[in-house]
Amino acid sequence: MVSVTQEARAEPLPRPTGRLLSGGLPLAWLGVVPFFLYVTLFLLLPALSLIVGAFQTESGSLTLANVNSILQPQFTDAYKTSLELSAVTALSGGILGLLVAYSVVREGAPSWLRAVFTTFSGVAANFAGIPLAFAFIATLGVTGIVTVFLRDRGIDIYSDGFTLYHFTGLAITYTYFQFPLMILIITPSLDGLRREWREAATNLGASTWQFWRMVGLPILLPALLGAMVLLFGNAFAAYATAYALVGGTLNLVPLLIGISMSSDLFANPNLGDALAAGMIVIIAVAMLFYALLMRRAARWRR
């Protein structure tokens, strides 16, 4: 992504004393009060109401019924499928995104190429819902351009068992916004992969593959994994595209939350809260990994 391309600073300067560190702890904390107030109002309180709602009935009394419900097979099955879909697209989007990002960001790549790809990625990463579902129906659907193209050449993907309207098709569609997201997230880290290291490795006689195996990937790995965890969360929470493409025939947690909370028939918002609370637990664990990995990644970039 577009980032500051100045030379990174070298060794840290000796810690200055005096004015910068005066003021003491209490005063300094005042500076971040607006931010934390904002986050409390707009993020923490809503999240809290969700968790509280998971343990309530419609009338407000406490209950474990919702939690029990989501432990039923139809719901645990949904969590499993959601996890699978998220993991698969985090990988597919992550790997493809990394390869494309590196190709347009490395030295030797014209800068217009980078601008085009990163701006396109910005738009594509947010292209979801009905328009995206339809774009893939128009491409890989029964009369989609790719399907027809292949059929004219004797390959009928549908008779071979492929269908757009199930897991694989949804994964392919999700990748459309996953890999640009990866490009956007990983580019700053790629920029940090200093050219000097590559030059040094080459001067020492290393091949491209050796460079990557022994220098590049180890350095990038924490940032890579961290980015994939973000992709994982992104896919896990995706709703509009899934609903538009597979309706309710794939058991996914966001779809079940949608059923609980926005139905034509009956609404069961507390069950929806419980399902969402389950999501929070899973993603929170994933994000914990992410936080740990990012800390390791930061070490290399100082």
Task: Name which of 63 and 268 has its Cβ closer to another protein.
Answer: 268
Task: Pick out residues in 87-116 that bind another protein (CB under 8 A).
Answer: 96, 99-100, 102-104, 106-109, 113, 115
Among 168, 188, 212, 215, binds another protein (CB under 8 A): 188
Evaluate whether 84 touches 78 at the Cβ level (below 8 Å). no
CA angle 195, 4, 211 (to 5 degrees): 20
Integer Cα distance of 115 and 205 in angstroms: 33
Q: Does 68 bind another protein (CB under 8 A)?
A: no
CB of 258 to another protein, least distance (A): 7
Among 259, 270, 274, 297, binds another protein (CB under 8 A): 259
Stretch that binds another protein, among 60-68, 120-128, 214-222 (CB under 8 A): 120-128
Q: Does 137 bind another protein (CB under 8 A)?
A: yes
The amino acid at 106: R
CB of 248 to another protein, least distance (A): 3
Which positions ≥6 away from 152 have C-beta within 8 Å?
A: none
In order of 159, 253, 258, the CA distances from 42 in angstroms are 50, 24, 22
In order of 165, 196, 238, the CA distances from 252 in angstroms are 14, 46, 10
CB of 28 to another protein, least distance (A): 4
CB of 211 to another protein, least distance (A): 10
Q: How far is CA 219 from the centre of its chain?
A: 21
Task: Pick out residues in 209-238 that bind another protein (CB under 8 A).
Answer: 230, 233-234, 237
Stretch that binds another protein, among 15-23, 60-68, 212-220 (CB under 8 A): 15-23
Q: Does 204 bind another protein (CB under 8 A)?
A: no
Whose tokens are 């790629």? That residue is 190
CB of 91 to another protein, least distance (A): 15
Integer Cα distance of 278 and 96 in angstroms: 30
Alpha helices of the chain — where are they, by DSSP H?
24-30, 33-39, 45-54, 65-70, 73-105, 111-124, 130-140, 145-152, 167-192, 195-203, 208-211, 217-237, 240-246, 253-261, 269-301
CB of 215 to another protein, least distance (A): 14
Task: Pick out residues in 151-180 that bind another protein (CB under 8 A).
Answer: 158, 165-166, 175-176, 179-180
Which positions from 38 to 57 touch another protein by CB under 8 A, shown as an x/- string?
xx-xxxxxxxxxx-------
